[in-house]
Amino acid sequence: MNRLHITGTVCKPAKLETSPSGIEHLLLTVEHRSMQPEAGMNRQSYVKLQLILSGEGLQHWLHKLTVGSEVHAEGFLHRHEDNNGLSRLVLHAQHLEQI
């Protein structure tokens, strides 16, 4: 199963792009910080993750999601490769809400 729920803070301005096939993609970068229990102790957790939300009608998110906005996202992880051949994990969000 490939499913991730994450809550975090938008740390870069959202961007809206349209693929060559005409699909809109909203790109967000989110930071998550928390304390997580591990081996009987608390561990500080920090993640900076790119989120992609795809579909129609995403324009309204550009005005709602500013740097510092808190969001909850749910979706699946997917590997993306840049032009230099470097790969990274990206969350393809199927559900996004501002909190």
- The 10s digit of each residue's pLDDT in 37-80 is 999 999 999 999 999 999 988 999 988 999 999 999 999 999 99
The pair of structure tokens assigned to 67 is 């740097």
Reported as a single tens digit per residue, the pLDDT across 41-51 is 999 999 999 99
Predicted local confidence at residue 42, as pLDDT: 97
CATH number of 4-98: 2.40.50.140
Supply 66's token pair.
Answer: 């500013």
The residue ranges of DSSP E strands in the chain, in sequence order, are: 4-18, 24-38, 41-55, 70-81, 87-98
How far is 19 from 48, CA to CA, in rounded Å? 24
